[in-house]
Amino acid sequence: MSRRKVPSFSDAVFWTVVVFLFMPLFVLLLYSFNASKGGTFTGFSLVWYERLFFGSDQLWKAFGKSVSIALGSASLATFLGTLAAVGTSRYKFFGKGYVQAMSFVPMILPEIVMGVSLLVFFAGLGLKLGMATILIAHTTFNIPFVYLLVSARLEEFDSSVIEAARDLGANEMQTLLKVIVPMIVPGILSGWLTAVTLSLEDFVITFFVAGPGSTTLPLYIYSAIRFGVSPVINALSVVMVVGTVLLVYPSRRFLKAFAAGA
Amino acid sequence: MRQRNYGPWYSAPQGLWLTLFFAAPLFIIIVYSFLKKGLYGGVEPGFSLAAWHALGGGTLLAVALRTLLVSLVATSITILIALPASYSIARSSNQSLRLFLIIVPFWTNFLVRVYAWIAILGSEGFLNDALRWLGILSTPAQFLYNQGTVVLVLVYMYLPYAILPLFSTIEKFDFTLLEAARDLGASRLTAIVRILLPNIRGGIVTAVLFTFIPIFGAYAVPLLVGGKDAYMLGNIIADQVTKTRNWPLAASISMAVTLITGIGALVYAYTSSRPAAPQVDDAEDDLDYIIQAEALP
Amino acid sequence: MLGSNVSISGLSKSFGDFKALKDVSLEIKKGEFFSLLGPSGCGKTTLLRLIAGFEDPDSGLVSIDGRDVTGLPPDKRRCNTVFQSYALFPHLTVFENVAFPLRIRKTPGKKVRELVKRHLDLVQLEKHADKKPSQLSGGQKQRVAIARALINEPSVLLLDEPLSALDAKLRQHMLVELDSIHDEVGITFIYVTHDQAEALSVSDRIAVMDGGKILQVGSPQDIYENPKAEFVARFIGDTNLFSGKVVSFSNGISLVQDERIGAIKVEAGNEAPEGSWVSVAVRPEKIRISLAPPAEAGPLGNVVKGMVDEPIYSGFQSKYYVRTPGGGHLVVFRQHAQWSEGVPDIKWKDEVWLSWSARDAVVVEASGTSIAPVVSGDSLDE
C-alpha cells in the first residue's frame, strides 16, 4: 500500500534544515573565489586555489601527518577491536564484562576530559608529546567504534557456521582466518573507515596530546583561522568537499552495500 | 566437541590497551583532583580538597550554570528541529537522498564548519555584507561572541547527531498506529503527541544524549565563536591545563563534567534496557546509524 | 436510497501508474455484513481505505448515512477500522487502548470505565484489562482491536483482513465470534478478505473484486451457485469450466461443443443462443462419479467417460481428478455420506463415468466477453 502524503509541516522543517546545513558551505564556496582577502566580495579569482596548491607547504605537511596518523591509528584500532569483538561474541570468560564496559565508556566521555587525562598521563610517564602520543590517543578513541561495528556484524551471523568449520577439521586459527573474518569483512571495513574519518576530524584530543612538530591538519586549520580570515582555508574546504563527493559518488553502490552490512 | 576458551586471548590486547590508555589516565585524573597544586603546573604530594571546594566558587559556579543552560537550550532546540525533520525523512519515498543531504555538510572538517560561521557572522562577514547591501545596516554589526551565537553553532554542529537516531527509530515505527489513532477520532497533532512520541521514546533519549554529552563538554565552539563571556566548562578545563596550570582544578572540573555525563549515560542505559519496551534493541541500532553516517566519507 | 448506509459512486484511485480502483459503485445496507472478496491487488483494501478516509479518491463520492464524507479526514467519519496488523498502541494497556477514543473526546472517567468494561465484556477480555498488547495472543489482540473500534459506536465497522494473522483453528473460532458480535451490535460490517470460505460463511452479501473492479455482488448462494464471470467461478470454490460454440438450442437446452469433452447440455435459457461462444461452469460436487455407467441419462443428463488421474481422500469426502479421452480434465467430489461396505472403492487409473444435470451448469461468459458486472440486490447499475 502506498504511503500517505507526508504532512507538509515536517517537510518544510526538513528543507529548512537542509538550507541551514548547506548555507555555510555556500559561503565558503563564494569566498574561495573572492579576489580580495576581506569579507567583501570584490571579484572572481582563483588566487586562493593557486596559493593552496603552490604556496602552502606547511598545510600539506600537516595533511600528510593527519593521513599517516589516521591510517596508523585506524589499522591498529581495527586489529585490536576486531579481535576483542570476536572474543566477546564467541566466549564467556572472566573479565568479559570489563572489556565490554571499557569499549563503551570512551564513546560517552566528553572529548575534553579524554584529552586532558591523556595529557596528564603522558606527562606523568615523562613521554614527549608528538606523533607517537597522537597515535596512541587516536587509537584509544577509535577502538570502541570498531568494536561496536564488528560486534554488530558478529551478532548477526549464524554461529553454526563456526561449528561446521570445526567439525570439518579447521583449527581455531583456520576458523578465524578462513570463516569468521571473511564473513565480517563489511563490519571490519566500516569500522576501519569510521576510525579513519574520526581521526582525520579530531581536533580537541589532538590539541592536548600534540607537541612541537606534530601539527595535524585540524591543528593547522585551527592556527590559521584563530587569527581571522584565511581564504586559503576556504579553498581547502571546497577542495575537500568536492574531493569527498568525487570519492564517494562512484563508490556509492559499495557504500550502500557496506552500510547495509554494518 | 569441547573447545578451548580463546576468549581471553582475543580480548586481552584491547582490554590491556584501554586499561593503560583510557582507564589509567582517568584514574590519575581522579587522584589529581585530591592533590595539592604544584607551583609550576603538575601536582605536589599531599591530600587536598581545594580543587573540589573551588568548584563551588563564584566564577566557576557561574560558568558551570551557564554551561548547563547553554547545553539544555541547544539540546532542546536541536531535538525540536530534529523531530519533524527526521519524521519527514522517514516518511519520504526517497529516504537515502534525504539522509545524504543531511550528512554531506559534515564531510567538511569540524573546524572549517565553525570557521564558515565566523565568515558569515563576523563583522566583515557575509551577513553584514548582505545587510549593508540591503540598506538595513549602515555600520558593521558584531553577531559573533555572544551566547546566542554559541547556541546557534552548537545546534548546527549536532543536529545530525539528533536526526540520525530519531530517523532510525521513526523509520521502524508502525505508521498504521497513526492511522488507527486518526480512525478513532484523534486529530493529526493529537495522534503524533499521544501515539508517535511515546513509541519513539528510545530514539528521543538517544538523540538527547548524543547531543547533550558533546555539547556539555564543548570546547572549540565557545572558544572560537563565543569569546570570554561565553566560556563553557570545557574552556575552563583547557585554560587550567595550559595557561593557569592548576592541574587539580582541571581534574576536579573534568570529574564533575564526567559525573554529569555519566548520569546521562545511566539514564540512557536504564531507559534503553527497560523490559517489554519495544525499543529494547533500538539503542544499539541508533548507535550504528550514527557511526555509519560518520563512516560514509 | 432508503436503508443504505454506505454509498459509493464512481470511485477511482491510482497510485502512480497503478490503477487500484476503476470507477467502482456500491450500495451497502444498514446492518449488513458485507464482504469485499478478491485476490491481493484487486483493490479491496484500497476501497476500504477510501471509505475509512485514509486515502482520498481521484474521483467519485463516498457517503455514510446519507452524508457526503469524501475528502473528510478519518477522525470526522462515523466509521472505525479493525486493522490487519491490529494496530494496538504498544505503550498503552488493553484498557487504555480501548479507552483511547473516549480519552480523545475527554469523556469523564466514570463513563470511560463503564463503557470500556462493557466493551471488554463483549469480547470476553475483562480479565486482561491491565495487560500490554505485547502480553496478548494473536486472538486476544484481535478482540482488543474490535472492542476499541466499537467503543465510538460507529455506524460502520471496517475490517481489513482481520483474521489473516491467525492460525486456521483460531480463524474459524473468531469468525463465529465476529458473527455474534455483529448480531449483538447490529451495525454495518464491511469485511475485506481474500479467503472465500470466510466470506461465504458469514456474509449477508459479497462483492467479488478483481483488477480494481467489482465483478459481481450478491448473496453467498448467488455468488457460488450463479457466478457471472469466469473469474468469479474460478476464484470461489473449485470449478469445472467448459467453453465452446453453442451448436444447437431447443426446449431451453443449449448444446455446447467443448473441444476436449465433447457436446455438453446446458440449461441456460436465452443466455446461450445458438451460434454464440460461451463458457460454462459446473461445480465438482454436482457431478456424480461411478465405476458403472449411470442407468439413464434423460433429456437433461450429461455423461462423460474418463480415467482417474489422482484420487485425494480427505475423510468426509474424496476429490478425484479425472481425465477424459479427449484430453479434458474434470474435478469431482464424492461425499462419504455413509459407510458403504461392499461398494467398490474408486482408485487410481480406474475407468469411471461422470454424470451431471444440464441444470447444474451455469453460463459464466458469452461470446468471449464477460457478462459485465451483473449486480443483484440494490447495487447501482453501471
- CATH number for the domain harbouring residue C273: 2.40.50.140
Chains touching chain A through at least 3 C-beta pairs below 8 angstroms are B, C
Judging contacts by C-beta atoms under 8 Å, the chain A residues touching residue B159 are: 17, 20-21
Judging contacts by C-beta atoms under 8 Å, the chain B residues touching residue C56 are: none
Q: Highest mean pLDDT range out of A166-180, A219-233, C90-104?
A: C90-104
Q: Tell me what percent of chain B is helix, strand and coil, each rounded to the nearest 5.
A: 75, 5, 20
Nearest CA in chain A to B108: A241
- Owning domain of residue B209: 49-295
Q: Which residue has the higher pLDDT, A23 or C341?
A: A23
Shortest Cα distance, chain A CAs vs residue B221, angstroms: 11
Judging contacts by C-beta atoms under 8 Å, the chain B residues touching residue A31 are: 119, 126
Of A102, A145, A221, the CB nearest to B112: A221
**pLDDT at position B29, please?**
92
Q: What is the mean pLDDT of chain A?
A: 85
Q: Do A18 and B91 touch (CB under 8 A)?
A: no
Under the banding of pLDDT at 50, 70 and 90, the label for residue C371 is very low
- Owning domain of residue C155: 4-231
Give yes or no for B181 touching C (CB within 8 A). yes
- Spell out the residues 6+ positions from residue C364 whose beta carbon is closer than 8 angstroms to its own: C227, C228, C229, C230, C232, C233, C241, C279, C280, C281, C370, C371
Nearest-5° angle of CA B259, CA B262, CA B263?
A: 90
The pLDDT tens digits of the residues spanning B150-175 come to 999 999 999 998 999 999 899 999 99
Q: Is the Cβ–Cβ distance between C142 and C122 less than 8 Å?
A: no
Choosing from C231, C263, C291, the residue where a domain stops is C231
Residues C264 and C193 in one domain: no
Nearest CA in chain C to A5: C55
Give yes or no for C146 touching B (CB within 8 A). no
Counted residue by residue, chain C has a size of: 382
C-alpha cell, C42: 484487486
| Residue C57 reports pLDDT greater than 70 | yes
**pLDDT at position A250, please?**
64
Tell me which residue of C128, C142, C32, C30 sits closest to C86, measured CA to CA: C142
Shortest Cα distance, chain B CAs vs residue C87, angstroms: 5
Judging contacts by C-beta atoms under 8 Å, the chain B residues touching residue C75 are: 182-187
Domain ranges of chain A: 78-237+244-262
Of B247, B262, B295, the CB nearest to A197: B295
| Residue A39 reports pLDDT greater than 70 | no
Shortest Cα distance, chain C CAs vs residue B197, angstroms: 10
| Residue A40 reports pLDDT greater than 80 | no
Choosing from C231, C262, C292, the residue where a domain stops is C231
| Residue A244 reports pLDDT greater than 90 | no
Q: Is the Cβ–Cβ distance between B26 and A192 less than 8 Å?
A: no
Under the banding of pLDDT at 50, 70 and 90, the label for residue B180 is very high
Of C52, C54, C152, the CB nearest to B185: C152
ipTM tops the 0.85 cut: yes
User: Does any domain span residue B20?
Assistant: no
pTM over 0.90: no
| Residue C293 reports pLDDT greater than 90 | no
**pLDDT at position A16, please?**
95
Chains touching chain B through at least 3 C-beta pairs below 8 angstroms are A, C
Shortest Cα distance, chain A CAs vs residue C214, angstroms: 19
Residues C208 and C250 in one domain: no
Under the banding of pLDDT at 50, 70 and 90, the label for residue B290 is very low
Shortest Cα distance, chain B CAs vs residue A215, angstroms: 15
**pLDDT at position C47, please?**
95
Q: Is the Cβ–Cβ distance between C149 and C191 less than 8 Å?
A: no
Residues C14 and C124 in one domain: yes
Q: Do B102 and A17 touch (CB under 8 A)?
A: yes
**pLDDT at position C169, please?**
81
User: What CATH number does the domain containing B62 carry?
Assistant: 1.10.3720.10
Of B32, B101, B209, the CB nearest to A120: B32
User: Does any domain span residue C189?
Assistant: yes
Judging contacts by C-beta atoms under 8 Å, the chain B residues touching residue C53 are: 182-183
Judging contacts by C-beta atoms under 8 Å, the chain C residues touching residue A1 are: 45-46, 49
Judging contacts by C-beta atoms under 8 Å, the chain B residues touching residue C149 are: 183-184
| Residue A209 reports pLDDT greater than 90 | yes
User: Does any domain span residue C351?
Assistant: yes
Under the banding of pLDDT at 50, 70 and 90, the label for residue C377 is very low
Count Cα neighbours of A152 within 13 Å in the Cβ-side half-sphere: 27
The pLDDT tens digits of the residues spanning A90-110 come to 888 898 999 998 988 888 889
The separation between CA B287 and the C-alpha centre of its own chain, rounded to angstroms, equals: 13
Q: Do A148 and B128 touch (CB under 8 A)?
A: no
As a whole number, mean pLDDT of residues B215-241 equals 89
Judging contacts by C-beta atoms under 8 Å, the chain C residues touching residue A3 are: none
CATH code for A78-237+244-262? 1.10.3720.10
DSSP codes of every residue in C188-219: EEEEEES-HHHHHHH-SEEEEEETTEEEEEE-
DSSP-assigned beta bridge partners for residue C305: C353
Residues C253 and C215 in one domain: no
Give yes or no for C165 touching B (CB within 8 A). no
The pLDDT tens digits of the residues spanning A64-76 come to 999 999 999 999 9
Under the banding of pLDDT at 50, 70 and 90, the label for residue A165 is confident
**pLDDT at position C194, please?**
93
The pLDDT tens digits of the residues spanning C200-252 come to 999 999 999 999 999 999 999 999 999 989 899 999 888 999 888 888 888 88
As a whole number, mean pLDDT of residues B124-130 equals 80
Of B188, B190, B276, the CB nearest to C104: B190
Q: Pick the range with the lowest mean pLDDT from A11-15, A144-148, A165-169.
A: A165-169
Helix runs in chain A, H state only: 8-32, 47-54, 57-90, 96-102, 105-108, 111-125, 131-156, 160-167, 172-175, 181-201, 204-209, 217-226, 231-248, 252-261
Residues C314 and C170 in one domain: no
**pLDDT at position A6, please?**
43
- Spell out the residues 6+ positions from residue C127 whose beta carbon is closer than 8 angstroms to its own: none
Under the banding of pLDDT at 50, 70 and 90, the label for residue B276 is very low
Under the banding of pLDDT at 50, 70 and 90, the label for residue A206 is very high
Q: How many structural domains comprise chain B? A: 1
Q: What angle, rounded to 10 degrees, do the helices at B58-91 and B95-103 form?
A: 150
User: Which positions 32-61 of C are in contact with A (Cβ < 8 Å)?
Assistant: 45-46, 49, 54-55
As a whole number, mean pLDDT of residues B220-235 equals 88
User: Does any domain span residue C120?
Assistant: yes
Residues C197 and C272 in one domain: no
Q: Is the Cβ–Cβ distance between A20 and B116 less than 8 Å?
A: no
Chains touching chain C through at least 3 C-beta pairs below 8 angstroms are A, B
**pLDDT at position B88, please?**
93
Give yes or no for C100 touching B (CB within 8 A). yes
**pLDDT at position A229, please?**
66
Shortest Cα distance, chain A CAs vs residue C39, angstroms: 14
Percent of chain C with pLDDT over 70: 94
Three-state SS sequence of C20-83: EEEEEEEEEECCCEEEEECCCCCCHHHHHHHHHCCCCCCEEEEEECCEECCCCCHHHCCEEEEC
Q: How many structural domains comprise chain C? A: 2
| Residue A259 reports pLDDT greater than 60 | no
Give yes or no for C16 touching B (CB within 8 A). no
Site from B31, B33, B92, B109 to mutate, A interface, most A CB atoms within 10 angstroms: B109
Q: Do B180 and C89 touch (CB under 8 A)?
A: yes
Give yes or no for B182 touching C (CB within 8 A). yes
User: Does any domain span residue C376?
Assistant: no
**pLDDT at position B167, please?**
93
Percent of chain B with pLDDT over 90: 40
Q: Pick the range with the lowest mean pLDDT from A30-39, C168-177, C259-268.
A: A30-39
| Residue A160 reports pLDDT greater than 50 | yes
**pLDDT at position C341, please?**
66
C-alpha cell, C297: 441419462
Choosing from C184, C203, C231, the residue where a domain stops is C231
User: What CATH number does the domain containing C97 carry?
Assistant: 3.40.50.300
**pLDDT at position C380, please?**
35
Q: Do B184 and C101 touch (CB under 8 A)?
A: yes
DSSP codes of every residue in B238-283: HHHHHTS--HHHHHHHHHHHHHHHHHHHHHHHHHHT-TT-TTTTHH
User: Does any domain span residue C178?
Assistant: yes
Judging contacts by C-beta atoms under 8 Å, the chain C residues touching residue A4 are: 54-55
Q: Which residue has the higher pLDDT, A136 or A167?
A: A136
Shortest Cα distance, chain A CAs vs residue B58, angstroms: 22
Q: What is the mean pLDDT of chain B?
A: 84
Q: Which residue has the higher pLDDT, A136 or C263?
A: A136
Percent of chain B with pLDDT over 70: 90
Q: Is the Cβ–Cβ distance between A103 and A140 less than 8 Å?
A: no
Q: Do A140 and B22 touch (CB under 8 A)?
A: yes
The long-range contacts involving B227-232, CB below 8 angstroms and separated by at least 24 positions, are: B227/B144, B227/B145, B227/B146, B229/B145, B229/B146, B229/B147, B230/B66, B230/B70, B230/B145, B230/B146, B230/B147, B230/B149, B230/B150, B231/B63, B231/B66, B232/B63, B232/B66, B232/B67, B232/B70, B232/B150
**pLDDT at position A25, please?**
87
